[in-house]
Amino acid sequence: MNYNTITCCDDMCDVSAKTMTQQLFGTRVAALVDWVKRAYDVYRQRRHLAHLSARELSDLGITRAQAQFESARPFWDLPNDAA
């Protein structure tokens, strides 16, 4: 067996290790790019939240303290529903 080839005994599938590495790298880079975009969007939303007026916060149903707490969270602390 060539060290650059992965062979499946039953399925007779030969896949280049280089191709698999490229696919894995591409997938991970895409996931990282998606995460960075999502983190930046949440960061912008939190900065905007910090500058809302009392009336706007009231319309959203949150207090100034809640808005300050949320806006102080670090950019990497994403909510689970940010996808």
Range of the domain at 64: 34-83
Is the pLDDT reported for residue 56 higher than 50? Answer: yes
Q: Is residue 74 part of a domain?
A: yes
Segment among 26-30, 37-41, 69-73 with least mean pLDDT: 26-30
What domain count does the chain have? 1
In a domain, 45, yes or no: yes
- Look at residue 24 in the predicted model and tell me its pLDDT: 78
Whether 3 is covered by a domain: the verdict is: no
Whether the model clears a pTM of 0.85, i.e. scores above it, the answer is no
Decide if 55 is inside a domain: yes
| Residue 49 resides in a domain | yes
Q: What does the pLDDT read at residue 17?
A: 64
Residues 42/25/23/17 CA torsion (nearest 10 deg): -160
Q: What are the pLDDT digits (tens) for 6-35?
A: 555 555 555 566 677 777 788 888 999 999
